Structure 1
């Protein structure tokens, strides 16, 4: 609770700093919405031409897209500053974190607030709300609870991948290419059902790079499409828990790698 209170105070300070330029805040949010909207427009054009994608209808694809985007927004709103960890370490800013009475990772995450992330989150939630009325799902209390858990679980999967890559900065000093590759994989492949890919790609995007656990597995569970999976249906229902396990492991990895930090003056 003490660290949560510190996080809330630091994040509040970062938010107030951004609110000094409200026009910039609005443009950043709109920019995030437009960027994600372009990806959705491409999918719509494909489905308008072919009718379905791997047997998935437009409503089901939008639901999958919305779930993936909402999970992305939930992770990127608090975790966006991991993108700048190379700069923080190389330029010596990380050294200041070590002499302050708060965990260095907490200070890194709250150094600034990135308004464009709100556009991703708002877009994902809006798509989920719209697509939720177009798909054959009985929105009972357990179904809604599973959807909420799936959003947070998917966010943890993406956060764990980015945190793991960021932890390598203490050895490599330059992790941006790795993080951009990870972001590209989520954006390029996370919006489609794994069914459309070949067996090797499905295996890789499930057990090597756990992209399928973000939105595809939870979507198949809610849409009653677990019959198309090459894994037991229980994997889809328990997929949200995978994110929390991966994030814990990623955090432990960060802690171990941070011991190799060297001052920029060395």
Structure 2
């Protein structure tokens, strides 16, 4: 709780610092919204041409797309500074984190607030709301709880993979390129029904990169499409728990890799 409270205090300070530049703040939000809107327009164009995608209608993909984008925003808002880990390690900025009486990860998280990520959240929530209305899902209390758990689990799944890659910076002195590659994988494949890909790709996106757990599996449960899955339905329903497990393992990996940090300062 103390760590969470400290993160909230420092995150508010970082946000206030960013808001001092109003024009930058505005265009940051606009840029985040534009990115999400362009992706949706691309999917809509494909569905206009072909009618459906792997048997999924536009309304169903709208829900899947909104879930993925919202989960992505929920992890990247607090953890966007992970992408700066290479600079933090190479410049010996991490030295300061180690001598302060605060968790080094929290210090890295609150190093700066990325305004564009707030635009991602606004866009993701708007698309998710439209998907909830148009997808035909009956929003019983159980389904609402599953949706909330899926968003949290999806955020933790993506965050855990990025945190694990960021931890490699303590050994390799470089991790940003790997993290950007992983981000591209999620953005390229996570917005579509994974059943449209071949069996090798489906296997890779379930085990090597557990992207299927981030949004696709929970979406199939909500939309009652579990008959198309290559895993048991209860595994798809338990997708949020996978995110919790991966996040715990990623944090342990982070703690273990800090021991290999070697300052480049003097």
TM-score range, shorter chain: over 0.9
| Structure 1 runs (4+) greater than 2 angstroms displaced | none
* 1:183 and 2:183 matched: yes
- C-alpha displacement at 1:225, in angstroms? 0.2
Who is 2:214 aligned against? Answer: 214
CA distance in structure 1 between the partners assigned to 2:47 and 2:119 by the alignment: 25
Who is 1:39 aligned against? Answer: 39
CA distance in structure 1 between the partners assigned to 2:87 and 2:36 by the alignment: 27
Who is 1:59 aligned against? Answer: 59
CA distance in structure 2 between the partners assigned to 1:5 and 1:137 by the alignment: 37
CA distance in structure 1 between the partners assigned to 2:125 and 2:8 by the alignment: 23
CA distance in structure 2 between the partners assigned to 1:13 and 1:265 by the alignment: 27
* Residues paired across the two proteins, number: 266
- C-alpha displacement at 1:265, in angstroms? 3.0
CA distance in structure 2 between the partners assigned to 1:172 and 1:233 by the alignment: 39
CA distance in structure 2 between the partners assigned to 1:151 and 1:127 by the alignment: 14
Who is 2:250 aligned against? Answer: 250
- C-alpha displacement at 1:247, in angstroms? 0.5
TM-score (norm 1): 0.98
Who is 1:93 aligned against? Answer: 93
Who is 2:123 aligned against? Answer: 123
Q: Please give the root-mean-square deviation of Cα atoms over the aligned residues, in Å.
A: 0.8
Q: Deviations over 1:45-80 (max 9, x none)?
A: 000000000000000111111100000000000000
CA distance in structure 2 between the partners assigned to 1:31 and 1:15 by the alignment: 17
- C-alpha displacement at 1:202, in angstroms? 0.3
- C-alpha displacement at 1:104, in angstroms? 0.7
Who is 2:113 aligned against? Answer: 113
* 1:199 and 2:199 matched: yes
Who is 2:139 aligned against? Answer: 139
Aligned pairs for 1:225-244 (under 5 A) are: 225-244=225-244
